[in-house]
Amino acid sequence: MGEPLSVGLVGAGKISQQYVTTLARLPQVALTRVADLDPARALALAAGLSDVRAVPVGELMDSVDLVLNLTVPQAHAAVAVAALEAGRHVYNEKPLAASSAEARAILAAAASAGRLVGCAPDTVLGTGVQTARAALEAGDIGVPVAATAFMVTPGHERWHPDPEFYYQPGGGPMFDMGPYYLTALVTLLGPVVRVAGLASTPRATRTIGDGPRAGTVFPVSVPTHQTGILEHASGALTTLMMSFDVWAGRLPRIEVYGADGTLSVPDPNHFDGPVHRFSGATQEWSALPELAGYRGAGRGTGLADLADALRAGTAPRASAELAYHVLDVMECLHTAAETGAAATVASTCTIPPPVPLG
Cβ burial, residue 346 (10 Å; 0-12/13-18/19+): exposed
Q: Which stretches of the chain are assigned E, i.e. beta strand?
A: 5-10, 29-35, 53-54, 66-69, 89-92, 117-119, 144-152, 192-200, 205-207, 217-219, 225-232, 237-243, 254-258, 261-265, 276-279, 284-287, 343-344
pLDDT one-digit tens code per residue, 205-252 = 999 999 999 999 999 999 999 999 999 999 999 999 999 999 999 988
Quickly state the pLDDT bin for 169 (edges 50, 70, 90).
confident
For position 252, what pLDDT does the model report?
87
The domain spans of the chain are: 5-122+298-319, 126-290+325-344
Give the residues across from 18 on adjacent strands.
Answer: none
CA–CA separation, 275 vs 278, rounded Å?
Answer: 10
**pTM assigned to the model:** 0.96
pLDDT (mean) for 116-126: 98
For position 170, what pLDDT does the model report?
81
Which CATH number does 126-290+325-344 carry?
3.30.360.10
CA–CA separation, 74 vs 69, rounded Å?
Answer: 12
Phi/psi for 274 (5° steps) reads -75, 140
CA–CA separation, 144 vs 281, rounded Å?
Answer: 16
Strand pairing of 53-54 and 29-35?
parallel
For position 2, what pLDDT does the model report?
75
Report which of 67, 86, 64 is spatially closest to residue 76, judged by C-alpha positions: 67
Helix (H, G, I), strand (E, B) or coil at 93: coil
Q: Is the pLDDT of residue 284 over 80?
A: yes
For position 1, what pLDDT does the model report?
59
Cis-peptide, bond into residue 121, ω within 30° of zero: yes
Query: DSSP label at 32?
Result: E
**CA–centroid distance for 268 within its chain:** 9
Architecture field, domain 5-122+298-319 = 3-Layer(aba) Sandwich (3.40)
**Amino acid (one-letter) located at 232:** H
CA–CA separation, 300 vs 284, rounded Å?
Answer: 37
CA–CA separation, 223 vs 197, rounded Å?
Answer: 12
CA–CA separation, 258 vs 278, rounded Å?
Answer: 10
- In angstroms, the Cα distances linking 127 to 193, 275, 286 are 27, 9, 17
